[in-house]
Amino acid sequence: MKYEQLAKDIIKNVGGKENVNSLTHCITRLRFKLKDESKANTEVLKNMDGVVTVVKSGGQYQVVIGNHVPDVFEDVVAIGGFKTGASEDVLEEKMSPFNKFIDTVSGVFTPILGVLAATGMIKGFNALFIALHILNTNDGTYQILNATGDCLFNFFPIFLGYTAANKFKVNKFIGMAIGAALVYPSLAGLTASPAQPLYTLFAGSIIESPVYITFLGIPVILMSYTSSVIPIILATYVGGKIENGFKKVIPDVVKTFLVPFCTLLVIVPLTFIVIGPIATWAGKLLGALTLSIYNLSPVVAGLFMGAFWQVFVIFGLHWGFIPIAINNLTVLHQDPILGLIFAASFAQTGVVGAILLKTKNSKLKGLCIPAFISGIFGVTEPAIYGITLPRKKPFVLSCIGGSLGGAILGFMGSNVYMIGGLGIFGIPGYIGPNGMDRGFYGSIIAMIAGFLIGFILMLFTKLEDNTDSSKSKNDLNTVQPLVRQEILVSPLKGEVKHLSEVKDEAFSKGALGKGIAIEPNEGKILAPVDGVLTTFFPTGHALGITSANGAEILIHVGMDTVQLEGKYFYPKAKQGDTVKAGQVLLEFDIDSIEKEGYSLITPVVITNSDSYLDVIETDRKIIDYKEELLTVMR
């Protein structure tokens, strides 16, 4: 296994395989559903080699890996023995309705996103070949490519029937059977010309529905369910409830065939008579609503979507737009919403390109090169989490570039006509029925503009970083690092412990801030940074330092040692003193304190850690004075 050790470390730090309810993955992330997120060592995972960051959103614990996440996923599944869908004994999580919605959409669409993008790319390139007169619609090459590109969308309900059944814990083949019934050719052909309807319901309205057949005398409103999304998801959900009901009353000896027999006899007619029409009407209304919002001001819509799309991605909120986009493609045969976000990934990539050009930091260059390449192809998580977001300003600049690019897309009336690839592979998705029109050229202009705006804004934004780790400490202090960070050296000598090992909830639960603990083997406290000794308790057991850069550091020697009332503690500085890193601040008698029955485990915490991006702990097990202990990232 290529990523065996990484997989083992990930499993360990999400709380062990017994803490995992289910596991899936998308393009860059492992998406865990954990029984208890508090058991996961988020900070350890964030700082683990091979992990970009950790995101908690939509009821999911997302470990961001990067482009090679499928390989890591395979090793995690193999080592953990996980089922890749929801397990049968998953505990029902307490999630808000919004989180449940995001979780449902993610669970239904994640498994097919790769094939969805692939078939869309094939369909898009086929449209490009026609527009460039490389092929014509009578060519066998075109027809086979078209069948390959259309296969998923033409039978989308069957695929979604499988993934929705997996999500709702329904017999997967029941889900597929419902989907297959929805696109059954004989039923679909009943509405084709020259067939005449028996009568029409709701004539003249947006939900006008001709009736061609009845079921037991009940009118059946036949819709075109090819490429549809909402009907099959709702039908599978309801089918699951019906299936569970039959499981309770049908004897075990005949359940194998009678449960699906009875379930299908109920759910398929119910879908055609009730669920399908209601879901389809809802889809039409949703499509009309999104289009009307877009029509109020395409430019303003573009500014908003372009600016915030990457923020939506970070928090996993972009999943909420996926069913709307697919619904719009089904109902309207075009989607203006996702059409507005095309420039965002290129703006992000442009910012990374400028950083790559400007920085002399070899480590940062090493991060920028693969992030730039993957960004060109639309995968921006490595750029976001590894480069721009930790530095804040570059991320904001990329959002500006995406916003202005979105405004161009809105102004040019650019829409997507198919779900295609990401990045440059998304270009063919803007080719509509009229070929390369204004909207298509608008997508090209916006793509280039987004990249250039991000690149130029970053190019003319001051970027200072540590160019060489071999520089002297004085030299480094005169240069503001690109990632603003402050390193705290160890004030003690001894064994390093996690704060969770401290038998005091204020420290172990992180209530007083992020940090680390040390079991000292020598009775001396040194200043971990240059700063001011802002607090020195009269009992000598605890002291606070505010660093020159504003970090507020608490060092608490032992647990409950305040009860010694200063006995065995010998201060070597006083409150208000300006101190230098390495200066002796306190001495204490280890043996005497331990004989009194007190633990000497000493937490070192950043009490204002909420003001910082992150506090990264050392990976040392044993530490000496002045060795790096904590890194505070702004």
Q: Are residues 274 and 320 in the same domain?
A: no
The answer to whether position 136 is within a domain reads no
Q: Is 614 helix (H, G, I), strand (E, B) or coil?
A: strand
At 600, the pLDDT band (50, 70, 90 cuts) reads very high
DSSP 499-534: GGGSS-HHHHTSTT-EEEEEEESSSEEE-SSSEEEE
Percent of the chain past pLDDT 70, that is, above it, reads: 85
Average pLDDT, the chain: 83
Task: Dump pLDDT digits (tens) for 327-358.
Answer: 778 777 888 888 898 999 999 999 999 999 99
What single-letter amino acid sits at 192?
Answer: A
Residues 42 and 187 in one domain: no
How far apart are alpha carbons 324 and 327 in whole angstroms?
5
Q: Calculate helix-pair angle for 4-13, 69-80, nearest 10 degrees.
A: 70
Task: Please tell me the total count of domains within the chain.
Answer: 4
Query: What's the pLDDT band for 489 if we cut at 50, 70, 90?
Result: very high
Query: Within a domain: residue 477?
Result: no
Nearest one of 462, 471, 412 to 437, comparing CA atoms: 412
Active site residue 399: no
Give the pLDDT confidence of 293-319 residue by residue, as tens digits. 788 899 998 999 899 888 776 655 565
Q: What is the model's pLDDT at position 123?
A: 75
Same domain, 290 and 326: no
* Domain identity same for 492 and 448: no
In a domain, 278, yes or no: yes
Residue 515 belongs to what domain range?
485-633
Residue 226 lies in a domain: yes
pLDDT for the residue 605: 92
What does the pLDDT read at residue 563? 79
Are 359 and 491 part of one and the same domain? no
Does residue 471 have a pLDDT over 60?
A: no
Peptide bond into 370 cis (omega under 30): no
The Cα-based distances of 399 to 27, 344, 361, 409 in angstroms read 21, 7, 24, 15
pLDDT of residue 150: 83
Q: Averaged over 77-81, what is the pLDDT? A: 90
- Cβ atoms of 96 and 399 within 8 Å: the answer is no
Residues 6+ apart with CB under 8 A from 433: 333, 417
Answer with the one of 459, 493, 522 that is the final residue of a domain: 459
H or E element that contains 187: helix 185-188
User: What whole-number distance in Å separates Cα of residue 379 and Cα of residue 297?
Assistant: 29
CA–CA separation, 362 vs 368, rounded Å?
10
pLDDT surpassing 60 at residue 88: no
How many helices (H) does the chain have, and how many strands (E)?
23, 22
> Could you tell me the end-to-end alpha-carbon distance of the chain, in angstroms, rounded to an integer?
37
Query: Do 266 and 314 belong to one domain?
Result: no
Q: Is residue 480 part of a domain?
A: no
Domain boundary among 263, 294, 325: 294
Q: Is the pLDDT of residue 567 over 80?
A: yes
**Interatomic CA distance for residues 515 and 615, integer angstroms:** 7
Region 272-277: what's the mean pLDDT?
Answer: 90
Q: Average of pLDDT values for 177-206?
A: 83
315 plus 193 within the same structural domain? no
DSSP classification of residue 432: B
Q: Is residue 142 part of a domain?
A: no
Please report whether residue 277 resides in a domain: yes
Highest-scoring range by mean pLDDT, 273-287, 440-454, 473-487: 440-454
Please write the tens of the pLDDT for every residue from 154-167: 898 999 999 999 88
pLDDT in tens, 618-632: 878 899 998 999 988
Let me know: does 347 contact 398? Beta carbons within 8 Å.
yes
Q: 453 and 330 in one domain?
A: yes
Query: Which residue among the candidates 26, 262, 368, 399 is catalytic per the annotation?
Result: 26
Lowest-confidence segment of 107-121, 169-183, 220-234, 563-577 by average pLDDT: 107-121
Structural domain ending residue among the three candidates 269, 294, 319: 294
Are residues 450 and 311 located together in one domain of the fold?
yes
Q: Does residue 547 sit within a domain?
A: yes
Q: Are residues 223 and 363 in the same domain?
A: no
CATH number of the domain where residue 508 is located = 2.70.70.10
Same domain, 496 and 611: yes
pLDDT of 103 reads 67
Please tell me whether residues 289 and 389 are part of one structural domain: no
CATH number for the domain that contains residue 68? 3.30.1360.60
Number of CB atoms found within 10 A of residue 372's CB: 20
pLDDT at residue 213, as a whole number? 92
Q: Are strands 531-536 and 542-547 parallel, antiparallel or unpaired?
A: antiparallel
